[in-house]
């Protein structure tokens, strides 16, 4: 993933965490845990375009109960 895509993804997610956000890493995957507010469709579509994904969802539609991840 390009660093620009990574940063843009974080900028998209940031407003949907109302108090603070939790980030994590494991090997080559960066995780942004579940947002406190539901993301609009335009935001989720853009995250998918940037290469972000929801590990526990697979190819399914956006699940507001799941976090996001990106390979770095």
In this predicted structure, the answer to whether residue 72 has a pLDDT above a threshold of 90 is no
- Give the number of other CB atoms < 10 A from CB of residue 67: 19
**Per-domain residue ranges of the chain:** 3-71
Q: What b/e sequence results for 12-42 when a residue is b if at least 16 CB atoms lie within 10 Å of its CB, and e otherwise? A: bbeebeeeebeeeeeeeebebeebeeebeee
pLDDT 10s digits, 16-71? 998 877 788 888 999 999 999 999 999 999 999 999 999 989 777 999 999 999 99
pLDDT of residue 22: 79
């Amino acid at each position: 993933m390009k660093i620009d895509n990574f940063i843009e993804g974080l900028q998209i997610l940031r407003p949907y965490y109302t108090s603070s956000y939790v980030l994590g890493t494991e090997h080559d995957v960066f995780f942004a845990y579940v947002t406190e507010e539901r993301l609009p469709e335009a935001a989720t579509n853009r995250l998918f375009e940037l290469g972000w994904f929801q590990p526990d969802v697979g190819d399914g539609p956006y699940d507001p109960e799941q976090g996001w991840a990106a390979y770095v």
